[in-house]
C-alpha cells in the first residue's frame, strides 16, 4: 500500500493561536503514527505563487490513514484553532 503525505500551507495571522493549535494537534499526530517530515518558513518556489508563510509535510502509512487522522475526534477538536490563527490550505498526496 502506498504511503500518503499531507501538505499544509499556512498564512499565519495569530502566532499565539498557532502555538495553541500545535499543542492541541500533537497528540492526534502521535496517535495516528504520522511523521512530520518537514516544516519550512522559507520555501523556495520554483513556479507560480506559493501560499502562506509556513509549510508542513507529514507522512502517513496510507491515504486512508491520513484521512482517518484528519477526521479523527482528536484532530477535529484541534483544527478550529489552526483555522482561527491562519489562512490554511491542506491536501493529501498519495505516494508511489
Fold exhibited by the domain 1-34+64-96: Alpha-Beta Plaits (3.30.70)
Tell me: the pLDDT tens digits for 16-64? 999 999 999 999 999 999 999 999 999 999 999 999 999 999 999 999 9
SS (H, E, C) the chain: CCCEEEEEEEEECCHHHHHHHHHHHHHHHHHHCCEEEEEECCCCCCCCCCCCCEEEEEEECCHHHHHHHHHCHHHHHHHHHHHHHEEEEEEEEECC
What are the residue boundaries of the structural domains of the chain, listed by start?
A: 1-34+64-96
Please tell me the pTM assigned to this model. 0.92
User: How do residues 54-95 score in pLDDT, each as one tens digit?
Assistant: 999 999 999 999 999 999 999 999 999 999 999 999 999 999
Amino acid at each position: 500500500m502506498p504511503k500518503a503525505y499531507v501538505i499544509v500551507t499556512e498564512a499565519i495571522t495569530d502566532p499565539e493561536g498557532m502555538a495553541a493549535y500545535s499543542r492541541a494537534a500533537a497528540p492526534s499526530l502521535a496517535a495516528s503514527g504520522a511523521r512530520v517530515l518537514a516544516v519550512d518558513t522559507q520555501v523556495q518556489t520554483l513556479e507560480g505563487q506559493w501560499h502562506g508563510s509556513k509549510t508542513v509535510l507529514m507522512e502517513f502509512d496510507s491515504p486512508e490513514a491520513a484521512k482517518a487522522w484528519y477526521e479523527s475526534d482528536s484532530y477535529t477538536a484541534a483544527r478550529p484553532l489552526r483555522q482561527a490563527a491562519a489562512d490554511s490550505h491542506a491536501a493529501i498526496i498519495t505516494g508511489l
